[in-house]
Amino acid sequence: MSEVTDDKDARIVVYCAVGGRAEKAKAKLEELGITNVENGGGFDDVKDRFQ
């Protein structure tokens, strides 16, 4: 995480192929004290949202 940011309140959107692994990643980041994590869902969901 420190390679990306040291700010535990930074907005982080995780995603994967369809969203299941992103939910696991979100939970792990929250366990580590990251407070602003969002499951963006699958790649297509994120791609459409952030274009």
DSSP secondary structure letter of residue 16? E
| 51 pLDDT above the threshold of 80 | no
Residue 11 confidence class, pLDDT cut points 50, 70, 90: very high
0.85 exceeded by the pTM?
A: no
Task: Write down the pLDDT at residue 3.
Answer: 85
Task: Write down the pLDDT at residue 34.
Answer: 94
- Summarize pLDDT for 24-49 with one digit per residue, the tens: 999 999 999 999 999 999 988 888 87
Strand, helix or coil at 18? coil
* DSSP secondary structure of 5-50: -S-TTS-EEEEESSSHHHHHHHHHHHHTT---EEEEEEHHHHHHHT
